[in-house]
Amino acid sequence: MIRLILIAGAGGFLGTVSRFLVSRYFQNLFFSAFPFGTFIVNVTGCLLIGMIFGFSQKGNILTPEWRMFLTVGFCGGFTTFSTFASENLALLKDGNFFYFALYAGLSVFLGLLATYVGNMFILKVI
């Protein structure tokens, strides 16, 4: 159990650092009330987790430890639902109803689509 906690924790550390860097980069690149940084991180994380589960479904490509490191650890640290919720609340409080609807709707739709595409890409192409 301690070993799995350390594996997930190491992945979480790398995912969190990656989220911070990627999110900050894109938020500074597209200066707007729309939270591009978190949006890009979350959709990319969905694509990655779809690909990881695709590899898992292909057979013994990923060990359970690697799957734990990549899904619970890295993707769990990389994506962020709490920031997503907080940014949506801020958009509502600021009266940015269009950005709120766009952000919430696109995040859910593209997140699901990215997970599906990542999974199908691995299962069908690789």
CB atoms within 10 A of CB 115: 20
The pLDDT of residue 31 is above 90: no
The domain locations on the chain are: 2-125
pLDDT-derived band at 21, boundaries 50, 70, 90: very high
pLDDT-derived band at 126, boundaries 50, 70, 90: confident
Residue 59 has a pLDDT of 82
**Rounded Cα gap, residues 1 and 69, in angstroms:** 14
CA angle 100, 101, 107 (to 5 degrees): 90
- Tell me: the pLDDT tens digits for 89-121? 999 999 999 999 999 999 999 999 999 999 999
- Tell me: the pLDDT tens digits for 32-79? 999 999 999 999 999 999 999 999 998 888 999 999 999 999 999 999
Residue 84 has a pLDDT of 98
pLDDT-derived band at 86, boundaries 50, 70, 90: very high
Please, what sign has the CA dihedral across residues 94, 96, 99, 103? positive
> pTM to 2 decimals?
0.94
CA angle 71, 75, 81 (to 5 degrees): 120
**Rounded Cα gap, residues 38 and 19, in angstroms:** 8
Phi, psi for residue 20 in degrees, rounded to 5: -60, -50
Tell me the CB-side half-sphere exposure of residue 19, using CA atoms within 13 A. 24
Paired tokens of 36: 């591009």
